[in-house]
Amino acid sequence: MRLFSIYKVSLFILCIAAVPVFAQKQTKAQYINSLMAKMTLQEKLGQLNLIIPGDGSVTGTVVSNDVEGKIKKGLVGGMFGIAGLEKIKKVQEMAVRASRLHIPMLFGSDIIHGYKTAFPIPLALSASWDMPLIQKSAQMAALEATADGLNWTFSPMVDIARDPRWGRVAEGAGEDPFLGSAVAKAMVIGYQGGAGNANLATGNSLLSCVKHFALYGAPEAGRDYNTVDMSKLKMYNDYFPPYKAAVEAGAGSVMSSFNDIDGVPASGNKWLLTNVLRNQWGFKGFVVSDYTSITEMINHGMGDTAAVSALSLNAGLDMDMVSEGFLNTLPTSLQAGKVSMTAIDAACKRILEAKYDLGLFEDPFKYCKSARASEVLSADKRAFAKEAAMHSFVLLKNDNQVLPLKSNQKIALIGPLANDRSNMPGTWSINADAKQAVAVLEGFNNRPGIGSKVLYAKGANISDDPVFAAKINVFGEKISIDTRSAQELLAEALSVAAASDVIVAVVGEASEMSGEAASRTSLDIPASQQKLIEALSKTGKPLVLVLMNGRPLTISKETKLATAILDVWHAGTEAGNAVASVLYGDYNPSGKLTMSFPRNVGQVPIYYSIRNTGRPNGGDVFGKYKSNYLDVENSPLFPFGFGLSYTSFSYSKPMLSANSIRANTSLTASVILTNTGNFDGEEVVQLYIKDEVGSITRPLKELKGFQKIFLKKGESKTVSFTIDEKMLRFYNADLKHVSEKGTFQLFIGTSSATENSVSFQLQ
Ligand code: NOJ
C-alpha cells in the first residue's frame, strides 16, 4: 500500500516534470501552440504515426518495428493492437518519461460491439431499432475499455450495405440511411459520453472513429476492398448521411476507407476528405487512414510511397495507420515542395487537440486506473449483454405458435452451433474471451427444471470442407470438423429428435464467415447443415431453427421446411442465456431486419428503397417486358423492417391532422396500434414516405421515422409522427438539399412492405 502511494506520488511528480506544463489558465489553443512551438519536424510527424506492435490482432500483413526506439524518440502518436492495462501503462510511461517532449499517446482498438464483454454484432444491434439501447451498448463498451487502458475506439462503422455478399455487413447497421444515421449518432454519443467532445475527458469515455469514409459498403460484386463506383446522387442521398450524422454528433475522428471513389482512393481523395468532410460538413477532428491504406495506394496505381504519402496529407488525412509513409517520406517531400509545413502543422494540431480533449495532457494515466479493474466483465456488463441480445433477435416465422416453448416439452437441441462458445462473441470481437461466452446448451441448462428435458446432438459440422474451414479458422478454431462421419452425426441427431416433442436446431454461419475479408458468392447455409435441416424436417416434429449469421442468408428452402425461425445473429457473450430466455418467452422478440433477405444471391444488391423504373413489375407476378426475373420474384424473402412477435399487432389506417403542409408548417400523422394477440410485446412502428413526382427519380419508399412501442395484450395506443418540410428534402441533380412541392404518399406499418397509406401535399 505504502509502496503503491510512493509509486503514485513519484508518478505524479514524474508527470508534472515530464509533461509540458499544463497550466489551467492556458486555453487549449495556447497550450497546443506553445507545445508545437517546441516540436521538431520529426516530432510533429511522430504525432501522425499510428503503429501496431504486432503481438495483438492485426488485419494486414505489416506490423511496426523498433516500437520502443520510436516511442522514445517521439516518433509515435498512438498505438493499437495492444491489450491490457499494465502493458498500456508501461508504454504510456515510456512516452511521457523517455521522449523529449513527454507527449502522451493515444491507445486505440476495434471496440465495435462491446469490449471484453461482447455484445451482439452491430448488424444485430441495429435490428433492435432501439436507440437508447444502442447508445448504452457504446457507453458500456467505453466504460469497460477505458477501465482497461484504452481511450480510442475504431467505431462506429456506419457504411451503408446493400450487398450481403460483402462480409462486413455484420459490422454496420444495414441498408438504410435514416436508420443508419440514428444508429451512428447514438453510438458516437454513447462512446463520447454525450454529443460533442465536452465529456471526453471524464476518463470513462472513448474517442470515437467513424469509419470507413467513404462508401466502403458498396464494393463491386460484394468483394472486400474492391472498387466503388457510384453516382454523386447516390452518395449524397443514400451513403453519406450516416457519416454526416456521426460528424454532427461530434465524432472526434474519422477513418478513411480502402476503396477508391471516382477513381481516387479515399485515403488520397481531397474532394472527400477536405471538400466534403471539412468544408461541407464542418468536421473539426482528425482523419486516420485505415490499415496501410496509404501505402496500398501504390497498388491502386497512384505512385510510390513518397507520392502516395504526400497525396494523403494534401488530401486532408492526418494520421497514418501502420504504413509509416508519413514518417519516412514527408521530410523529403517537404524539402521538394510537394507538401507544406502548414499541412503538417494542421495535422499535428488536430491530433494534439484530440489528446487534449481526452484529458491526456492533464493526466496521461487517466485511462490506467487499476482500481477500475473490476469494471471489466462485471455483472452489469453481462446483464446488459443479455438484454441487448434479446432485443436484437428477429422472429422470421412462427407457425402454429410453436414458440414460445413450453417448459414441459422435451427438446432435441441439435446443430453445430448448439453447444459452441467460440462463435458466440461474433466477428471481430478481438478483445473478448470466447471461453467466457455462454453456449445455447448452457443457456438451456441454466434454466431451472429445463436441463433434464433437453437432449443434445451436434448433428452436422458447420461445414464439412476442410479447405473452407482453414480459411475461417485463421484467428482460432471456429469450424471444428468432427472425427465422426456425417452419417454418424446425423444418426445421433435423428435418435435424439425421435425422443423429443420439439426440435430446436441451432444452425448458420461460423462467426468468421462474415466480417472483414469474408466475402461470399453463396449466401446459403453450408451444405452439411442443409442436409441436417432436411432430415430433421422429415421427422414431422415441430422444427425451430435458431439461425446464427453475420449477414442476410438465402434461406428460402429452410423457411419452407421449418416451423419457426428465430434469427439470433452472433449474439455475444451472453448468447446462450439470451436465446433460451427468448425461446421460453421471458422476452417477446421485437427485432426487425435492417437488411433485406434475398431469395437467392442473384437478387443482390437488394434493398427496399428502390426506384420504380419505367417498367415496374407491379408485384411478384411475372410480366414480359417488365423489370423482373424469369426465375424468381422481385421481392425479397424477408423485407427490410420485417420481424414477427409472439403476439400480433393491428394498424388502423393513417390519420392526418391536415392534408397539406407548407415550408413552415407541419402535420401529425397517426395510427392506432393494437396488440391483438396473447402476449405483451413491442412493435417497431415504421413511417415511410414516397415523393410521387420529382426533378429526379425518387425511391418507392423512404424510412422517415420509427418508434418502438410496448403494448400489453389487448391494449391500443395512438402512435403519432410529425411531418414537416425538412423531412421531404433530398439532394437534387445540383446536389442541393431541397424539397419539391407536390403529392407525397405516407405509409405507417410493420415493415417496408406496408401498403397502409394516405397522401398529403407540400404546398
Ligand atoms: C482494418 C479495418 O478495415 C478497420 O475497420 C480496422 O479498424 C483496422 N483494420 C484496425 O484494426
pLDDT in tens, 202-233: 999 999 999 999 999 999 999 999 999 999 99
- Dihedral sign, CA of 397, 675, 126, 182? positive
Q: By C-alpha distance, which of 101, 94, 87 is closest to 40?
A: 101
Taking 50 as the threshold, does the pLDDT of residue 5 lie above it? no
- Counting DSSP H helices and E strands in the chain, the numbers are 22, 27
Mean pLDDT of 272-280: 98
Distance CA 485, CA 736 (A): 62
CA 290 to ligand 1 center in whole angstroms: 6
Q: By C-alpha distance, which of 631, 645, 647 is closest to 715?
A: 647
Q: 268 to each of 171, 320, 378, 606, 637, how far by Cα in Å?
A: 24, 12, 42, 30, 40
Taking 50 as the threshold, does the pLDDT of residue 11 lie above it? no
Taking 80 as the threshold, does the pLDDT of residue 144 lie above it? yes
pLDDT in tens, 177-190: 999 999 999 999 99
Indicate the pLDDT class of residue 59, thresholds 50, 70 and 90: low
Q: pLDDT averaged over the chain?
A: 95
> Which candidate in 148, 260, 290, 320 is catalytic?
290
Tell me if domain 376-594 and domain 649-762 are identical in fold.
no
pLDDT in tens, 497-509: 999 999 999 999 9
CA 109 to ligand 1 center in whole angstroms: 9
Q: Which three cell numbers stand for residue 536?
A: 430433421
Indicate the pLDDT class of residue 57, thresholds 50, 70 and 90: low
Q: Which three cell numbers stand for residue 130?
A: 432501439
- The model's pTM: 0.96
pLDDT in tens, 700-736: 999 999 999 999 999 999 999 999 999 999 999 999 9
The CATH topology of domain 376-594 is Rossmann fold (3.40.50)
Mean pLDDT of 453-466: 98
Distance CA 668, CA 720 (A): 6
- Residue owning the nearest CA to atom 4 of ligand 1: 290
Please give the helix or strand (H or E) that residue 556 lies within, else none.
helix 556-561
Taking 70 as the threshold, does the pLDDT of residue 392 lie above it? yes
> Residue 718, Cβ neighbours under 10 Å: how many?
11
Mutate-to-test residue for ligand 1 from 50, 62, 79, 110, highest number of ligand atoms within 8 A of CB: 110
Q: By C-alpha distance, which of 177, 189, 247 is closest to 217?
A: 177
Taking 70 as the threshold, does the pLDDT of residue 424 lie above it? yes
Q: 644 to each of 415, 676, 714, how far by Cα in Å?
A: 24, 13, 17
Task: List all residues 6 or more positions away from 426 whose beta carbon is below 8 Å from its beta carbon.
Answer: 113, 118, 120, 121, 124, 170, 511, 550, 569, 570, 571, 572
- Dihedral sign, CA of 25, 30, 34, 40? positive
Taking 80 as the threshold, does the pLDDT of residue 63 lie above it? no
Catalytic site includes residue 290: yes
Report strand pairing: 681-691 vs 702-711: antiparallel
Cβ pair 627, 615 in contact under 8 A: yes
Half-sphere exposure of 737 (CA within 13 A, CB side): 12
Taking 60 as the threshold, does the pLDDT of residue 13 lie above it? no
- Dihedral sign, CA of 352, 353, 357, 359? positive
pLDDT in tens, 145-162: 999 999 999 999 999 999
CA 257 to ligand 1 center in whole angstroms: 9
Mean pLDDT of 749-753: 98
pLDDT in tens, 309-329: 999 999 999 999 999 999 999
Distance CA 711, CA 59 (A): 45
Scanning the structure block, which residue is given the C-alpha cell 517532449? 101
Indicate the pLDDT class of residue 65, thresholds 50, 70 and 90: confident
The pLDDT of residue 62: 67
| CATH class belonging to 649-762 | mainly beta
In angstroms, what is the C-alpha Rg of the chain? 27
The pLDDT of residue 624: 96
Q: By C-alpha distance, which of 703, 598, 702, 595 is closest to 169?
A: 595
Distance CA 237, CA 54 (A): 40
SS3 675: strand
SS3 720: strand
The pLDDT of residue 16: 45
Cβ pair 643, 396 in contact under 8 A: yes
- Where are the domains positioned within the chain? 376-594, 649-762
pLDDT in tens, 85-124: 999 999 999 999 999 999 999 999 999 999 999 999 999 9
Q: By C-alpha distance, which of 609, 611, 617, 647 is closest to 752?
A: 609
pLDDT in tens, 660-707: 999 999 999 999 999 999 999 999 999 999 999 999 999 999 999 999
Taking 80 as the threshold, does the pLDDT of residue 2 lie above it? no
Residues with CB under 6 A from ligand 1: 59, 110, 154, 211-212, 290-291, 516
Concatenate the DSSP letters of all residues of 428-444 into one string. T-TT--GGGSPPHHHHH
Taking 70 as the threshold, does the pLDDT of residue 15 lie above it? no
